[in-house]
Amino acid sequence: MLSIIVGLLLLVGLAYLGWSIIWVAPLAAGVVALLSGLNVFETYTQTYMDGLVGFVKSWFPIFLLGAIFGKLMEVTGAARSVAKKITELIGKKRALLGVLIAAAVLTYGGVSLFVVVFAIYPIALELFREANISRKLLVPTFALGAFTFTMTSVPGTPQIQNLIPMDYFNTTPMAGPVIGIVTTLIMAVGGYLFLAHSQKKLTAKGEVFTEPAKGPASSDKDEDDVPNWILSIIPLIVVVILLNVVKIEALYALIIGVLSIMILNLKDRKKFVSSINEGGKGSVMAILNTSAAVGFGAVIAVVPAFDEITTWLFNLSDNPLVAESLAVQIMAMITGSASGGMGIALSTLGESFAQLSQTTGISPEVFHRMAAVASGASILPNNGALLTLLAVTGLSHRETYKYVFVVALLIPTLAMIVGIIMGAIGLV
């Protein structure tokens, strides 16, 4: 157990200091293996690499096409066009709200978190540029909109974190609607108010928008020389409709989305090849950052003490909702993945919690909703989605994590506590 704690602290600490997760994760995994008495070489070449390669195998096409999609939205001026329209509708002072809403709508619409990052980032950057807001708040605003309430607590969300508990508690995506709505309001409203307050403080100190050192920058088009906003938003709508209405694979939806950008912006065809090349390069770094952390989680799962940890978590409290929530939350923290941590916790303890639902009289819907909410209240610096977001935006933990901590860990944990109390008194 000590090996897991030491490895996790090493990973989180070095990642926060700005050391690349690509080499820090295998280093931390090696320390865990060494302290656990495992064969370090075999653990790295087999367990760690299986976890890393497995993630790349599953997600690289999405990362690749998502990055290309975002890059084409940028160079054609489509991102700026949409951003300008959003600014007109909500006002420059509410650019944070615009990015938050855009990320939340896409996530609740069923778009993969990784796709949301690539698709919305160019638009978010333009909105922050228009409103002259420090880029430090880009990452926490994304995290709030895509990695918290729309992923875990809003009743009916199609994200996997809300679907995994269904198999264990025989529930539906709408499980625990009252708890879901209350925890959603706590996260969404509390997080936005904190970010708005942080924006005022940064602006007062003179910290405003600065151009990124690399990645999407201001389009080379003149302010008025951008595509019509209706044409510009069509590719985004196409992707969302294909994913959620037509229900085709995300891979095909993104391919069609990319093609729609190119067809609608043929006048910029000379930029297509270079843009696709740049998007491809960016996707490689983004997926390696994430898969490196996944590999670390794979090593943690084979440590002999891991089973002892799950047993300890199950007996942590006489209140089964407390035990379940903490089990899911801690597993998600250790593995750096909300869905991965929940999957491990419920595959080990889900049947026991389902039985407790029958003996305690607590509705299975409460167990479902609390497992989902707890999975999202777990974003430490080793979180895979956060690492992807940092890689895409070119920002660091030092610049952004203190804001992420509040909106994606502290406030969701407070929401989790409120949910536990509501479930215990029978408010479902």
> Distance (Å, rounded) from C-alpha 127 to C-alpha 329?
33
* Alpha-helix runs per DSSP H in 377-410: 384-393, 397-405
**pLDDT tens digits, 146-178:** 899 999 999 888 788 888 898 899 998 889 999
Lowest mean pLDDT segment, chosen from 53-57, 99-103, 116-120, 352-356: 116-120
Which amino acid, residue 353? F
* Alpha-helix runs per DSSP H in 109-249: 113-131, 138-147, 149-152, 160-163, 166-169, 177-204, 229-244
Domain ranges of the chain: 56-151+187-209+220-289
CB 211 within 8 A of CB 134: no
User: Which pLDDT does position 33 carry in this prediction?
Assistant: 92
**pLDDT tens digits, 268-324:** 888 899 989 988 887 887 788 778 878 888 888 888 877 777 777 777 778 899 999
CB atoms within 10 A of CB 174: 15
Q: Would you say residue 19 has pLDDT above 90?
A: no
pTM of the predicted model, to two decimals?
0.79
Which amino acid, residue 229? W
> Distance (Å, rounded) from C-alpha 110 to C-alpha 175?
17
Please identify which residue in the block is written with the tokens 């030092």: 398
**pLDDT tens digits, 202-217:** 999 999 998 887 554 4
